[in-house]
Structure 1
Amino acid sequence: MDATFNKFKGDIKTDTVKYLADPQLRNIVNVSIALGRPLLVKGEPGTGKTMLAHAIALSLGMKLIIWNVKSTTEAIDGCYMYDTVQRLNDSRFGSEDRNVNNIRDYITFGPLGEAFDADEQVVLLIDEIDKADIEFPNDLLQELDVMEFYVKETKEFVKTKNRPIVIITSNNEKELPDAFLRRCVFHWIEFPARGFMSEICNLHYPDLKANLLDQCLKHFYAIRAITKLRKLPSTSELLDWIGVLLKSGITLEELKEGVPFLGVLIKKEKDLEIAIEKLKFPT
């Protein structure tokens, strides 16, 4: 495979980020980079959608810019903000740093604008796009398609200097418009099978004994197999749970007798009751 296509290698291990992507995810990231299209990533909460952007940025040696989407977020928020209040204050009281007659002094770029204005290529994470209003993705069509936006106060277009690598995550809470989907490359992160999950755990806890890890995974997948649970434990919760087990100094024999610290894995009261009943041993 061409080296220019295979930019993202799929694994990263630093003090702050440890990430392992399966071959399908690694390949689709490189497809997105090659096409210059945003990568829309969906999957269960806790499967590493957000951390993927961190891993890509670290792997490629690029700056990561994060746009955390909320229910009140509008597309313009990611482009720029015009500070009318500051300009009004400066017109009354003056300013040593800003020229009240220069509107550009009162324009601040949002995450999208910052990514467009960067002198080098960056990774832009638009996190949890489905939290916003249904029209939010449609309002980004122009910006993500041609990589520019219009600043009405200055009557100027801001165009990208270096097309960013755009990663968009969604928890599938809302359907995204077809017009938006056409502009993206898509990937669903499957929940890791036991073998791959073992690799992920070993990446985070390289000194974890194999028999202890095997027992952890046995309990974890048994819990996920309980059909009545409303919220299944995720990869991130499994990693937290293993960390707690190691810090507590629990032995393999103790772990075989029960599932300690079950509240690290299960976060709903009814789910906890169901799990305790199904597992049939003290927690």
Structure 2
Amino acid sequence: MSEWFVYRGTGQPDPTALDRLPDPPAWRTFDAPVVPYDVPELDSSTRRRLGADTSPLPIQDPETLEVVNAALYLRRPLLVTGEPGVGKSTLAHAIAYELGLGRVLEWPIVSRSELRDGLYTYDAIGRLQDSQLSAEDRSDDIGRYIKLGALGTALLAADRPRVLLIDELDKSDIDLPNDLLNVLEEGRFAIPELERIADRTPVVQVLTDDGRRVEVTDGRVRCRAFPVVLMTSNREREFPAPLLRRCITLDLRAPRDERLAALVQAHFGQGSYDANRDLVDRFTRAETDGALRPTDQLLNAIFLAQHAARDESGRREEISDLLMRPLDRGPR
């Protein structure tokens, strides 16, 4: 394994690994004053994706490790493409787990998603209703009605980067990839509702995506340690060249051989890969028709076979045929 790697893809936590990173290049240096806030530990979302048992086998291939570490060194977003079910979003959780970066900030993209959804929300209606119900003057209590989104929280000026997953960017409106350009390049954004009152209330406490309170000064959020940004795509559309220029790209392949064994053992324990080789072999052989079969179909089949079939080989074959059907019908 290359000595320069910070993320090694072993599945073993190493919170001090980021300390080995050199200073960022001059064009990716951000120097906002540190904003202290409590970063939550990894949550159940990460545990569901990574499994409960560690494995001595590698969970990432050498090419993936090189690309991920290049993004970490250069402080650039990582654009991860690949078929559904190959582990694109899981990669974000694996990085957060191994490098000790806390809960993964997730922004799932839909066709209606706009840049502001990822940055912050402002509950103007709730503020109006509260003002009508209370005789107190709440003109400067606007922070109660502002919540930073996943992207906005990731850009807070913390000493250590957060991991941000922008999931299925290819499902977005045509404008969102271009709207992201300036924020990802400059590492900052403004909250106009706070800028308007900055002369009389320069520091306002707002809610983060984690549910914590944090101070925002002069209505602007600026980063210090650029977040580890992973944007995933199922290859359903092409992205504009300006966005691609700002990203490190990775085409993620489905886990096979040692990586597949590590995945199975992470969810079912040591020895589970060999104990279920019949299902694994049926799953990998099925690829010869060129159809799309996500890896979680194999995990589903193993789980059900353990409870419904066990040593009944015929029944195990029925379960594999039931659960490992292709998502499409043609070669890809």
Asked if structure 1 preserves the Cα contact closer than 8 Å seen for 2:88 and 2:232, the reply is: yes
2:179 to 139, 154, 161: 139
Q: Which of these residues, 248, 254, 265, is aligned with residue 185 of structure 1?
A: 248
State the secondary structure of the residue aligned to 2:63.
Answer: helix
- Structure 1 residue 35 and structure 2 residue 74: aligned? yes
Which residue of the partner structure matches residue 208 of structure 1? 272
TM-score, structure 2 normalization: 0.71
**1:246 maps to what in 2?**
306
Return the alpha-carbon distance in structure 1 between the equivalents of residues 135 and 163 of structure 2: 35
CA distance in 2, matches of 1:54, 1:223: 28
Answer yes or no: is 1:171 the counterpart of 2:234: yes
User: How far has the Cα of 1:102 moved from its partner?
Assistant: 4.4
The aligned counterpart of 1:260 is 319
* Unaligned ranges ≥5, structure 1: 275-283
- Summarize deviations over 1:3-38 as a string: whole Å, max 9, x none: 6x4221203279642481112112211111110000
Residues 191-235 of structure 1 deviation map (CA, whole Å, 9 limit, x = unaligned):
23445433433443322263x5332232112322224x4xx2111
Greater relative CO, 1 or 2 (CA 8 Å, sep 6+):
2
> Which stretches in structure 2 are left out of the alignment for 5+ residues?
13-45, 196-218
Give the drift of 1:260. 2.5
Q: Which residue of 2 aligns with 1:217?
A: 280
| Kept after mapping to 2: 8 A contact 1:43/1:170 | yes
Aligned to 1:277: none
Letter in 1 for 2:191: V
TM-score normalised by the chain length of structure 1: 0.82
User: What SS class does the counterpart of residue 184 from structure 2 fall into?
Assistant: helix
3-state DSSP of counterpart to 1:54: helix
- Contact map agreement 1:39 1:185 (CA 8 A) in 2: yes
Give the whole-Å Cα distance in 1 for the aligned partners of 2:144 and 2:259. Answer: 51
Distance 1:110 1:65 in 2: 9
Mapping of residues 1-283 of structure 1, within 5 Å: 5-12=4-11, 16=48, 17-18=50-51, 20-63=59-102, 64-94=104-134, 99-117=138-156, 119=158, 120-155=160-195, 156-194=219-257, 196-205=259-268, 206-208=270-272, 210=274, 212-227=275-290, 229=291, 232-251=292-311, 253-254=313-314, 258-266=317-325
One-letter identity of the residue aligned with 2:323: V
Contact 2:108 2:166 survives alignment (8 Å): yes
How far apart are the structure 2 equivalents of 1:114 and 1:209? 39
SS of corresponding position for 2:194:
coil
Contact 2:169–2:231 (Cα < 8 Å) also in 1:
yes
Query: Which amino acid in the other structure matches residue 126 of structure 1?
Result: I
Aligned with 1:225: secondary structure?
A: helix
Is 1:118–1:161's contact at 8 Å kept on the other side of the alignment? yes
Alignment-mate amino acid for residue 223 of structure 1:
A
Q: Distance in 1 between matches of 2:76 and 2:92?
A: 14
Query: 1-side partners of 2:93 and 2:135: how far apart?
Result: 39
Alpha-carbon distance between aligned partners in 2 of 1:145 and 1:84, rounded to the nearest angstrom: 29
- Counterparts in 2 of 1:2 and 1:233: CA distance versus 1, 3 Å: closer
Aligned residues: 264
Q: Distance in 1 between matches of 2:153 and 2:182?
A: 17
